[in-house]
Structure 1
Amino acid sequence: MLTRRIIPCLDVTLGPNGGSVVKGVEFVNLRSAGDPVELAKRYNDQGADELVFLDITASHEGRNTMIDVIERTASEVFIPMTVGGGIKTLDEIRALLRAGADKITVNTTAVKDPDFIRRASDIFGSQCIVTAIDCRSNTNIDDPNARNIVRRRDGTPAWYEVVIYGGRKPTGLDAIEWAKTIEELGSGEIMLTSMDADGTKDGYDLYITKAIGEAVRIPVIASGGAGTIEHMYDAFKVANADAALAASIFHFGEYTIGEAKDYLRRRGIPVRP
């Protein structure tokens, strides 16, 4: 059985003193969690499998991802690092990889120009391209865009709509159909965030995570909603996610990476040392 990955996510915003890691609910009401480089070093030392850096306001503000933060982090940590936020061109991907990123993640640009995924994977390899899917449940199952109906936590039938610009703009795309499309275009991995769950600490949206995992063959990273290490167990055991991404439970000292891995190991989930 393949080992499952634990991935801290650092949501970064640009401020007057440089980058700052923040956490909120559904990408708003943000509070500071500290310096991104220091947090990255902490997670490297604790045994995280990978790191994800997301410049969460880059697309909305129309600016590039923070290269300097990536360069400083890459000089301090030695685990794979995925970087995303506002990436629009192949040159930006090239610059991020040169700065020290191992993978890049795209969302808004991929939705607006799906062939961007193909071009990027052809040049840099599919293993470098992670497509982020941010989605929100829509209970209007008669909507002509509704292609796949999934039960929400409360049992309500819904379809999941892809949203972009940090969750601010609905697209009309069915998330499950979009996942199939990006796999065909050459994405090596999917990072799935249910906006219904993001920042709530009530657990991942297991239903859409499982549904997308069953629809594609590439790895799916569960994201959005982790409040306990039990929620990570559910992501692996119930939704069969390949990796679990979390932010606040690690940033604010509720758990360490080691504690999460020890718990999962005791419950039969294969994780790396």
Structure 2
Amino acid sequence: MLRSRIIPVLLVRNKGLVKTTKFGDDKYVGDPINAVRIFNEKEADELTVFDIDASVNESEPDYKMIENLASECRMPLCYGGGVKTLQQALNILSLGVEKVALSSALISNPSLVNDIAAQVGNQSVVAVLDVKKRLLGGYKVFTHNGKKASNVDLVDFCKDLEVRGVGEIVINSIDRDGTMQGYDKALIKKVKEAVNVPVTLCGGASDHADLGQTIAEFGPIGVAAGSLFVFKGKYRAVLISYPNSNDKEKIFSEGQK
């Protein structure tokens, strides 16, 4: 049975852990391995790691870093960043990663979804769509850290990706990234109504109540967050956190009302 999940998202740049705001103004927040160890202790549902430089720099995935992360991680791990070929995806999965996330490759080579799904199964293929509001309404999909606009229609593209075999679609709101002002509910509604595969929303999570309310309205769903789990207080002091068992029970019970 499909259930909702609470997912920390870690952004890696130059092997260090960073956090962005609206895909810019990144702040160094520590060592990725240390963060993984803390989330292990806090028994996170799963963990997502994005290398945010790999696609922009057209570099090969950093397999050694990925191997180190996977060897430490005691929860399901999703990795994205620089994956452009079937062999790269297979290499990453062979290191102990459960899911490979595709972003820019979805636009340049959508058949890669078919190829990976055929080899390893739909459950291991994740589509990550970085989305920004249009001035005149609707949403636009971007790649390369929000720098390159695509011409795809968000809803039609999600439907096509589902047909091609993605096991999950992650919708990342560029406008809400790092703001902690709440999820874009209109955005998630649009995508959830269009597809049947699991959907995860990222960008803007404000607090535990926001997680619970989103699950209550759209669950089962993945609620992902970066700033919420790495910053504390209005001065955004670095402090890795995650809901404890009692907090999670409250969040999920909100989703069952």
The answer on whether the counterparts of 1:47 and 1:257 sit within 8 Å (CA) in structure 2 is no
| Distance in 2 of aligned mates of 1:103 and 1:11 | 16
Find the residue that maps to 1:110 and give its secondary structure: helix
| Distance in 1 of aligned mates of 2:61 and 2:46 | 19
| Distance in 2 of aligned mates of 1:218 and 1:124 | 17
Q: Deviations over 1:52-81 (max 9, x none)?
A: 010011111111222222211222222110
| Distance in 1 of aligned mates of 2:254 and 2:221 | 16
Matched to 2:98, the amino acid is: D
Gaps of 5+ in 2: 232-238
Q: Which position in structure 2 is the counterpart of 1:184?
A: 163
Matched to 1:171, the amino acid is: S
Q: Which position in structure 1 is the counterpart of 2:242?
A: 256
- The number of aligned residues is 249
Q: Deviations over 1:9-38 (max 9, x none)?
A: 010011xxxx11110112210001111111
Deviation at 1:240?
Answer: 3.4
| Distance in 2 of aligned mates of 1:187 and 1:134 | 16
The answer on whether the counterparts of 1:130 and 1:190 sit within 8 Å (CA) in structure 2 is yes
The answer to whether 1:218 aligns with 2:197 is: yes
The answer on whether the counterparts of 2:129 and 2:171 sit within 8 Å (CA) in structure 1 is yes
1:29-48 equivalent positions in 2, closer than 5 A: 29-48=25-44
| Distance in 2 of aligned mates of 1:97 and 1:63 | 18
Q: Which position in structure 2 is the counterpart of 1:143?
A: none
Tell me the TM-score normalised to structure 2 length: 0.91
Gaps of 5+ in 1: 141-157
2:80 to 71, 77, 84: 84
1:116 to 91, 112, 119: 112
2:140 to 135, 138, 161: 161
Q: What stretches of structure 1 move > 4 A for 4+ residues in a row? A: none
Deviation at 1:260?
Answer: 4.5
The answer to whether 1:27 aligns with 2:13 is: no
Alpha carbons of structure 1 residues 255 and 229: separation in structure 2 relative to 1, 3 Å = farther
| Distance in 2 of aligned mates of 1:251 and 1:269 | 27
| Distance in 1 of aligned mates of 2:218 and 2:255 | 15
Deviates more, 1:68-77 or 1:119-128: 68-77
Find the residue that maps to 2:190 and give its secondary structure: helix
Matched to 1:8, the amino acid is: P
2:208 to 226, 229, 241: 229
1:86-105 equivalent positions in 2, closer than 5 A: 86-105=82-101
Q: CA RMSD in A?
A: 1.7
Task: State, as a whole percentage, how many aligned pairs show the same letter.
Answer: 31
